[in-house]
Amino acid sequence: MRASRLSLSVLSAGAVVVALSACSSTAGEDEFALVADGTFTVCTNPSYKPFEFSQDGKTVGFDIDLAREIADDMGLELALISAPFEGIESGSALDTRQCDAGITGMSINDERAERMTLSDPYFEDGLGLLVGADADIASVDDLGDSPVGVQQATTGEEYATEQGLNVVQFEESDLALQGLQTGQVDAVINNLAVLGAAVAGDDSLTIAQEFDTEQYAVAVRKGNTELIEKVNATIERINSDGTYDQLVDTWLS
């Protein structure tokens, strides 16, 4: 598992994406409006441990604590909406006003930056290949026609498809992990932090290969520049006051 604290110089690079998104919006789209008065409503897909997952009947994780920091800085209550990842990353959950923001371990790419306004990056991760510890698989090159589990609509699926692998889609990341454990697939491609959480305490699994570093961002409705500025202000604050390190220690150590 690899968790890295993004420097402010790296964070500022993400502002380019936000600036480009804002420039393409109309003046009317810049208005700050919440789905529910007094509440910061966040869509998340709670099957992505350690970022968002269910524990003792509650949704918890790194992203949930980040969402709470953002809400607190705005003086708002936090409300969580469980939604399919595909609906969040496509922007439809935001466009239909189900929520104010999507915070769900979502990587930055050009397509998402076109559909939504993205924050400065708040986490840097990579993709990895998870296999059984006794499998004769050391890299993607060893997979051949072996079935590979991915969560649909993710950069892991995109990578696996580009590599010409025998892709098996799962709606949730934990279902892909279950598919590996039950023999439905021979490997899983997902983000390293998620794979690291799966491997922890389970010596039957191992991360065979790491590749493709990427960054996570918060997403808001296209053109909602006032809200994204508030989100970015919180990201900057937690990086400067030690809160970010506390979140890493809590969820990623």
Whether 201 has a pLDDT exceeding 50, the answer reads: yes
State the average pLDDT over residues 119-139: 97
User: Residue 27 — pLDDT band, cuts 50, 70, 90?
Assistant: very low
Tokens of 174: 């934990």
Q: What is the mean pLDDT of residues 214-232?
A: 97
| Segment 162-188 mean pLDDT | 97
Mean pLDDT of 202-208: 96
With 90 as the cut, is the pLDDT of residue 236 above it? Answer: yes
Nearest to 121 by CA among 4, 245, 226, 241: 4
In order of 67, 69, 70, 209, 221, the CA distances from 73 in angstroms are 10, 6, 5, 39, 20
Residue 250 has pLDDT above 50, yes or no: yes
Please, what are the domains in the chain? 8-122+217-251 (3.40.190.10), 125-213 (3.40.190.10)
Q: Pairing relation of β-strands 187-191 and 147-151?
A: parallel
pLDDT tier at 33, thresholds 50, 70, 90: confident
Mean pLDDT of the 201-229 span: 95
Q: Is the pLDDT of residue 6 over 80?
A: no
Mean pLDDT over 158-181 rounds to 96
More confident residue, 5 or 243: 243
**What's the whole-number average pLDDT of the chain?**
89
Contacts of 51 by beta carbon, 8 Å cutoff, 6+ apart = 61, 62, 63, 104, 105, 193, 194, 251
Residues 6+ apart with CB under 8 A from 135: 186, 187, 208
**Higher pLDDT residue, 83 or 19?**
83
What pLDDT does residue 19 have? 36
Report the pLDDT value the prediction gives residue 31, as an integer from 0 to 100: 52
